[in-house]
Structure 1
Amino acid sequence: MMEFLYFPEDKTLYIPAVISLLIFVIGAFVAMHFIKKASKKEEEKWNQKYDNLKD
């Protein structure tokens, strides 16, 4: 039928794939955290700079 799909009988072969997937997902969350943190700092700098011009 679908010979191009391969599902191994030995399910332990899935372990390295799951581990690498978890590493990349955790890395994505960590990167997103740092991006949001840096973005918030930039927003505060921008607000301080341009809010002073209003007064």
Structure 2
Amino acid sequence: MKPTAYLRAGANNAEVKVLTAEGVSAVLRDLAATFERAFGHKAVLGFDSAGAAKKRIQGPSS
């Protein structure tokens, strides 16, 4: 038996933020478009160099 996901459109639509290295930008843009059509959630993409993305994710130094 295949698992089934039940999603409801409307007030529960979420914004999903993704930050990643520029090297995967083309693939991620295609994936984000597919995700948005399938689930109705907005994908907000951010691209940076690998090192800069890592620093942004880790946050300010203590």
Richer in helix (by share): 1
TM-score for both structures, normalised by structure 2: 0.27
Richer in strand (by share): 2
Larger Rg, first or second structure (1 or 2):
1
